[in-house]
Amino acid sequence: MHKELEEKFRDRWPGWFRDLYGDYRLTCMVWGFAHDDGWFDLVWGLCEAIEALGPDEDFKVEQVKEKFGGLRFYASGGNEAIWELVWKASSRSHHICEVCGQPGTLRDDRRWIRTLCEHHAAHTPKFVPMGAEDEVIRALIENQEKTENFLDSQEKTKE
């Protein structure tokens, strides 16, 4: 997520996000929110719902990220009601494009499992099966050799 959006969370809930950009030896929030901007509203809504429950003073967000195409929201100092809200938000994330926030679908045909809308799915590289990289490299080498042979033949023709 862009830094300007992340800072909105810290401004609204400074105690919860006190470790944002903190020491990497002490927090996973050193990397900020490890997902794209499309889930901003989802995470904001989750935080508002948690706020409405009145969490304890020791409540703290430990990490927010994408994993296997879904939202992961880790916190300490919560309770069953908070974990239920987190679980619901995580489930909803599988239907929201991580990039733009429009309706999305979980896509596992790419190098990274992501939830994307049709538009962003069309602009994300597809998965290259294991071993296919070798074929691509072999073709590049063959083309390089053909190009060198052609250039050599052109040089010989000039002589």
Asked if pLDDT for residue 149 goes beyond 80, the answer is no
- Report for 119-123, 136-140, 150-154: range of highest mean pLDDT: 119-123
- List the Cα angle 129/1/88 in 5-degree steps: 80
- Determine the pLDDT at residue 112: 80
137-152 average pLDDT score:
66
Asked if pLDDT for residue 154 goes beyond 80, the answer is no
Q: Report the distance separating Cα 9 and Cα 5, nearest Å.
A: 7
DSSP assignment of 43-71 equals HHHHHHHHHHH---TT-EEEEEEEETTEE
Q: How confident is the model at residue 124 (pLDDT cuts 50, 70, 90)?
A: confident
- Determine the pLDDT at residue 105: 94
**Whole-number average pLDDT of the chain:** 88
Collapsing DSSP to helix, strand or coil, 115 comes out as strand
Predicted TM-score (pTM) of this structure = 0.78
For 106-123, write each residue's pLDDT tens digit: 988 777 889 999 999 988
Q: What is the chain's length?
A: 159
Structure tokens at 2: 């862009």
Give residue for tokens 């995470």: 43
- Report for 4-13, 111-120, 126-135, 138-147: range of highest mean pLDDT: 4-13
Count CB atoms within 10 A of the CB of residue 144: 10
